[in-house]
Amino acid sequence: MRVLVVTNDLPPRLGGIQNYVDQLCRGLTAAGDEVTVYASAFAGDATWDAQAPFRVVRDRSSVLLPTPRVLRRTLRLIEQTQAEVVIFGAAFPLALMGPRLKKKSGRPFIAFTHGLEVSAVRAPGGAHLLRRIGRSASAITFVSSFCDDSLRAAFGAGPEYALLAPAVDPQVFHRAVDGSLIRDRHGLSTAPVVVCVSRLVERKGQDQLIMALSEVRKAVPEASLLIVGSGPYEATLRQLASDHGVDQHVVFAGAATEDELPAHYAAGDVFAMPCRERKRGLEVEAFGIVFIQAQAVGRPVLAGNIGGVPSALSPNKTGLLVDGSNSAHITEALISLLEDADTRKQMGADAAEFVRTGFTWEGRTRELRDLLNRAMSPEGQ
């Protein structure tokens, strides 16, 4: 089939949604589909686009919005590529032009949803905007049952709904990944290590890990915290580590390269991201791809019990859910995982199997292709 993807989320931009869109486009291409991606501009995009297995058309703007200009460009691309179906990489806001696109081109469209749509539906007027999309969409996908529960009513009864959770590449994220080079680089060779891989923003919970570390070290004296990522909260986190007297035991590694990302997960004995909601639910974790990446390399996870996160693990089997605002709860959970090597080992093995059997891009691509075929059928339109 011939597919046009319209998105702001594509590498070389970094992030889980960007990886999600990229991997699904790669999967469709590998399955023999002709994929063209219309994406916003980003620094370094020409180099990245040249190695992509699908065609990428970049807009001059760094952000695509549902404007008349972007609509006209999308219609031209449909005509040029003879696209049979359109995918919006995120429903909000780009799929707001979906109804006009469908009317003018006659092509069906589907839209992916992530955390932004959950935030939108909780904002004044947001549900009305999503309903406009839902009236014309052939299908809407969700990354978790939480997103389904939060959004289905807003989109309405018109489209088909499908769960299309994130996944991992088992050739990249697997139990044989070695984290020793990362440990050695940061002087963590023999230390029990808690690792957190995420953007450094308040809701991800790195602050709670830092505050818990002094108590954790009373039970596990050599414990250290490896924080991987960059973001606006870094200066605050560094000051917090100093204020709590653990700055010598917290490593800020910066953002990991794509090649070294699996090894950064493997450098930890436990992966922890005790995320929490902020701004009355306007900031929430829709799924949390970092949790399945960590589990794929055989690491038990400690996760904030919010949003779609429970869908990303098997609670009490592959990891622990905690209240991301409760320091005592986080401390207790970390100590329990670091002190019990046998439980940690079993959880890690179960975690890798959990991801291997349920979270592969090959499986997600099959599900997406089935959805697109239904969207193109007379019943789907």
Question: Which positions ≥6 away from 332 have C-beta within 8 Å?
Answer: none
Q: Which of 97, 105, 130 is nearest to 116 (CA)?
A: 130
The rounded mean pLDDT for the chain is: 96
Question: Which positions ≥6 away from 222 have C-beta within 8 Å?
Answer: 190, 191, 192
Give the sign of the dihedral formed by CA 101, CA 103, CA 108, CA 110.
positive
In whole angstroms, how far apart are CA 283 and each of 84, 113, 286?
35, 15, 9
> In the predicted model, is pLDDT for residue 20 greater than 70?
yes
Q: In terms of C-beta density within 10 A (0-12 exposed, 13-18 middle, 19 or more buried), how is residue 226 classed?
A: buried
Within 10 angstroms of residue 374's Cβ, the number of other Cβ atoms is: 17
Which domains does the chain show, CATH number per domain? 2-167+360-376 (3.40.50.2000), 180-358 (3.40.50.2000)
Q: What pLDDT, on the 0 to 100 scale, is given for residue 288?
A: 92
Whole-number Å distance between alpha carbons of 108 and 375: 6
Give per-residue pLDDT as tens, 112-157: 999 889 988 888 899 999 999 999 999 999 999 999 999 999 999 9
Give per-residue pLDDT as tens, 246-284: 999 999 999 999 899 999 999 999 999 999 987 655 578
Q: Which of 91, 102, 87 is nearest to 369 (CA)?
A: 87
Helix, strand, coil percentages in the chain from 3-state DSSP, rounded to 5? 45, 15, 35
Percent of the chain with pLDDT over 70: 98
Mean pLDDT value of segment 345-369? 97
What does the block give as tokens for 135? 């009236």
Q: Where are the alpha helices (DSSP H) in 135-198?
A: 145-155, 180-185
Q: What is the dihedral of CA 117, 75, 52, 143, to 10 degrees?
A: 20
Q: Flag whether the pTM goes above 0.95.
A: no
State the pLDDT confidence band at 35, using cuts at 50, 70 and 90.
very high
Percent of the chain with pLDDT over 90: 92
Mean pLDDT value of segment 295-322? 97
